[in-house]
């Protein structure tokens, strides 16, 4: 009798187990169908996406098609016969910045952000023929166009802006300039600090001829804005900050071309060492295509992240 009950119990649990497995499989099938419907993917394109990856930066995959697109972008900019290795390096450089932006500042660029920048480019481009060429290369693949062409124009300046103006990254320098400001308020001479400097500032910023078409996108430097408000011998009462430094500014004199200034300049940390350290410690680079990996290691060993490439 006990054996009968035990068998029935085992059969019951086996049926329950089968139901659970079938439920999971059904859920995966429904999820796959929904994915295909929402993102307009066919089973073939899904398989291509899975199996055509040649490299990755963390969980961001790079496909053969991505490399082909990058080669076409470069061709639109006059770079003929771009190698697959260089195209892949360009893509990896961008994805490293994209991942660093997420890791360091928890900023993820959304598709809406990319759409907005794409519209801005359409309206403000100074090189319509190049833009037309690039768009033609992508055809109807707008997602790849946004990720490969538009995204770097958003990610790169966003990463640099957040780095330059991060009080946590430049905490030591920020504390130092504040300490100097307190000592000045207590009567210490500005010339007594090791960070004391003299320099001059042109009254008019002249852009190179190659950038004249973009002059509407350049802002007057903050130091020039401040100095214009000072009288000879006057010290600006607040800390002045630009991308590279924290400053305390005093106007000495001026002539028709320049302002002559002295004060305290505390240099911020440099971007490149910070970025390389962050990537080295936190971001994984993999190249799955063995021939591409070996070619990059052999021919582009001076690219700083090449020693970080993980083997398959």
Reply yes or no on whether the pLDDT at 20 is more than 70: no
Measure the CA–CA gap between 106 and 162, rounded to whole angstroms: 11
Measure the CA–CA gap between 39 and 33, rounded to whole angstroms: 10
Measure the CA–CA gap between 167 and 173, rounded to whole angstroms: 9
pLDDT digits (tens, 9 = 90+) for 232-258: 999 998 999 999 999 999 999 999 999
Reply yes or no on whether the pLDDT at 42 is more than 80: no
Q: pLDDT confidence of 220, banded at 50, 70, 90?
A: confident
Look at the block and give the residue holding tokens 């780095």.
163
Q: pLDDT confidence of 219, banded at 50, 70, 90?
A: confident
Residues with Cβ within 8 Å of 306's Cβ and at least 6 positions away in sequence, in order, are 296, 297, 300
Reply yes or no on whether the pLDDT at 39 is more than 50: no
Residues with Cβ within 8 Å of 98's Cβ and at least 6 positions away in sequence, in order, are 57, 60, 109, 151, 155
- The number of residues making up the chain comes to 312
pLDDT value, residue 205 = 75
Rounded to an integer, the average pLDDT of 288-308 is 96
Residue pair 69/147 in contact by the 8 Å Cβ criterion = no
Q: What is the pTM of this model?
A: 0.79
Rounded to an integer, the average pLDDT of 154-169 is 98
pLDDT digits (tens, 9 = 90+) for 101-152: 999 999 999 999 999 999 999 999 989 999 999 999 999 999 999 999 999 9
Domain 52-164+276-310 has CATH 1.10.3210: no
pLDDT digits (tens, 9 = 90+) for 170-203: 999 999 999 999 999 999 999 999 999 999 999 8
DSSP letters spanning 138-185:
HTT-HHHHIIIIIHHHHHHHHHHHHHHT-TTTTHHHHHHHHHHHHHHH
pLDDT digits (tens, 9 = 90+) for 265-285: 999 999 999 999 999 999 999
Reply yes or no on whether the pLDDT at 214 is more than 90: no
Reply yes or no on whether the pLDDT at 4 is more than 60: no
On average, the pLDDT of the chain sits at: 87
């Amino acid at each position: 009798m006990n054996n009968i009950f035990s068998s029935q119990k085992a059969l019951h649990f086996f049926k329950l187990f089968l139901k659970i497995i079938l439920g999971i499989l059904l859920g995966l099938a429904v999820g796959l169908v929904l994915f295909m419907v929402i993102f307009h993917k066919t089973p073939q394109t899904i398989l291509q996406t899975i199996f055509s990856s040649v490299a990755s930066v963390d969980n961001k995959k790079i496909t053969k098609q991505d490399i082909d697109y990058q080669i076409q972008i470069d061709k639109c900019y006059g770079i003929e016969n771009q190698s697959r290795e260089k195209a892949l390096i360009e893509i990896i450089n961008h994805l490293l910045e994209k991942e660093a932006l997420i890791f360091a500042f928890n900023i993820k660029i959304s598709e809406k952000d990319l759409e907005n920048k794409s519209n801005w480019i359409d309206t403000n481009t100074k090189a319509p023929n190049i833009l037309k060429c690039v768009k033609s290369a992508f055809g109807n693949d707008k997602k790849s166009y946004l990720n490969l062409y538009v995204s770097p124009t958003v990610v790169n300046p966003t990463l640099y802006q957040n780095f330059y103006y991060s009080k946590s990254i430049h905490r030591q320098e920020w504390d130092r300039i504040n300490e100097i400001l307190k000592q000045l308020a207590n009567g210490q001479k500005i010339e007594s600090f090791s960070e004391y400097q003299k320099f001059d500032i042109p009254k008019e910023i002249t852009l190179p001829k190659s950038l004249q078409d973009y002059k509407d996108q350049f802002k007057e430097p903050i130091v020039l804005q401040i100095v214009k408000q000072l009288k000879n011998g006057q010290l600006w009462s607040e800390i002045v900050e630009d991308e590279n430094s924290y400053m305390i500014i005093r106007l000495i004199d001026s002539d028709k071309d320049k302002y002559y200034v002295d004060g305290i300049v505390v240099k911020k940390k440099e971007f490149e060492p910070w970025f390389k350290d962050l990537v080295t410690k936190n971001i994984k680079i993999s190249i799955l295509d063995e021939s591409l990996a070996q070619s990059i290691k052999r021919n582009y060993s001076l690219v700083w992240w090449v020693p970080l490439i993980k083997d398959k």
